[in-house]
Structure 1
Amino acid sequence: MIRHLVLFKLDEGVERDDPRVVAGVRAFEGLGEAIEDLRSWECGWNVSDRPIAYDYAINCSVEDTDALQRYLDHPAHQAGVAQWREFATWVIADYVF
């Protein structure tokens, strides 16, 4: 199994209630049901206010690298990523567990 973690940082001046952010969150919330290759799916807002904290996170798992690539290429995932590119940056980690 592969764990796919993504941490998002909203751009300077962008707030959680920005309509673009609300739409981006909605797009990601639906991925768990939309993408067959996902074995687990979690996403949500960070509750920490530490200066180094990121704002939003995705935590999911897939069977193998082929499934990870299918997830990354899936149109629903690509649509969500395109939305988030407008207002955030992110870091990822993919690891075997």
Structure 2
Amino acid sequence: MLRHIVLFRRNPGGRPDHDKEQALTARMAGLGSQIPAVRKWFFAPNELQRAISWDYVLEAEVDDAQALDAYLFHPLHQALVADLKPYFEWAAVDYTAP
């Protein structure tokens, strides 16, 4: 299994838009069930505000690098990424799950 972890935070200096953020995070929360390559999906908001904290975490598991590519280049994922870019920045880590 390959684990895909992504941290999201609002773009620095951007204006918070509660309705837009709620719509985007709802799409993120439901995306995993719409893409066959995804085996496990977990999305959650940060609960503790610290200087090093990000706003949301996404944890996904896929079979291998080929399945990760199937997810990353899936049209639903690509459409969401295009909508996320103006509002969020993110960092990702991919590793083989023990």
Instruction: Tell whether the structures are fold-level matches, with TM greater than 0.5.
Output: yes
The 10-residue stretch of structure 1 (6-15 or 25-34) with the greater mean CA deviation from structure 2: 6-15
The residue identity in structure 2 corresponding to 1:6 is V
| Corresponding residue pairs, total | 96
Equivalent pair of 2:6/2:92 in contact (CA under 8 Å): yes
Equivalent pair of 1:20/1:83 in contact (CA under 8 Å): no
Partner residue, 1:72: 72
Equivalent pair of 1:21/1:84 in contact (CA under 8 Å): no
Identity of aligned residues (%): 36
Partner residue, 1:40: 40
Partner residue, 1:26: 26
What stretches of structure 1 move > 2 A for 4+ residues in a row?
12-16
1:14 CA displacement:
3.8
Unaligned runs of 5+ in 1: none
Unaligned runs of 5+ in 2: none
The 10-residue stretch of structure 1 (84-93 or 4-13) with the greater mean CA deviation from structure 2: 4-13
Structure 1 residues 16 and 94: alpha-carbon distance in aligned structure 2, compared to 1, 3 A threshold: farther
The equivalences for 1:1-97 within 5 A come to 1-11=1-11, 12-15=13-16, 17=18, 19-97=19-97
What is the RMSD computed on CA atoms of the aligned residues? 1.3
Deviations 1:9-65 (A, max 9, x none): 102344361x32122112112212100111100001110111110001110000000
